[in-house]
Structure 1
Amino acid sequence: MEKLRPGLRGVAERVASSINNGTLLGLGSGSTVAGLLEELSPILVVKGVTLIGVPTSTQIETVATENGISIVPFPGTVDLVIDGADQVDRRLNLIKGGGGALMREKVLMSSAKKVAVVAGEEKFAPKLCTGGVKVPVEVAPFARKSVKAKLSQLGGAAEERLLPKGYPYFTENGNVILDTSFAPVDEPASLEGRVKNIPGVVEVGVFTIKPITVYKIKEGGTFEVLG
């Protein structure tokens, strides 16, 4: 995370220009979002802007509160989502869900007026699932075995996410995660739809929502704006 700090600072300054009093932020989860909020908060304090946000996890709610962001319930839409990504392809499709908050993150993204995604340059690849990056699939516990079998029929190799001591990992929605390996994906929207249609699947960590703006942080603290 520290190597991204200079770039996050620059992205925070860019994002801050579009935030005013009354702007409702959707807050994705993970270390990149946490770092961005830590850089964004003091900039907006100087501007005299009071931040309000809808968090997607307890983790990011804690970070937001520590940085002076007022937490509100999700009203059905947000002005701007700030989020990270596990992988970004050349068409700005995403793999997300490494932190387990994929369902809430997708709900916010699909309901947002604008979406800003921040990722280090090492997260970019020509196709999703390049280099063995897995697709998280959130599943109702009752359906874990049947979903795993159906994912295999789609060419996926699914492993249930476990805690360090070997116990099942549960999302904040009470579901399990099947981290699923696929060959590099030519048509992410097709894969997203086929997995989502499996009975028992709550959400799939392939994100094809458009339009989005992606900030690609490069070595040395510079960043590129895509989308």
Structure 2
Amino acid sequence: MSTENANIIEMFSSVQGEGVYVGCRQAFLRFSGCNLKCSYCDTIFNSDFCALETLPGTGDIEKIKNPISIAQIRAQLDIWFNSCPHHSVSFTGGEPLLHAEFLNELARYIKSRSVKTFLETNGTLPNELNKCIEQIDIISMDLKLPETLPDWNEEIAIAQRKFLQIARNKDLYLKVVVAENNTEEAYSNMVNMIAQVDSSIPLIIQPVTPTSNVKIAPSASKLLHFQQLGLSQLRDVRIIPQTHKQIGLL
């Protein structure tokens, strides 16, 4: 992958709607492409153009042609940072680590502006993480359950364990999207894996937001049961939905 440009689907300023940093103001860079195919994914990977919000929080969108250079992104971030203080810049997707070298260069500049870097990742590319981890401040890692990932296999679980061992020394939290069809056995196996690496890593249970592919959200009793199971081995297990969807934000 190029270190000079990348295909970006969206660039916008909003608040983090998921996980530990919910409510924090962030600049979002949504990268094109992913190495997994989750059943609940709601991202459209049309990367011919990037939908760019010109001024933070306005919703005024301009389409610019991909690929986008680091210089273009830096110029836009400067406009946003000068207009509104941002807690961090979120690299999301898709899977941002498919662009690890590009991330490394861009993140170095963001940190020079005293803004934190925030990586949202499926945690299956540990070798790519090693290429940019020194420039990443916060990691939000999505753990995948077999029922929501048609191509799930043991190699994914092995890769996620390796990823955890690398990322655990960063400001790291884990997130698992739970639907009604997720089984206790699969969830418990995931909790066991986390506990074997580090039981102090926070785990966020995120009830699936119904989409065209996934229509049945988990019941309240299922969420509470999964939280109880998690807390039997982990110190911090929380239930947090996608709050940005509830209030109509990007």
Normalised by the length of structure 2, the TM-score is 0.31
Q: Which has the higher contact order (CA 8 A, sep 6+)?
A: 1
Normalised by the length of structure 1, the TM-score is 0.33
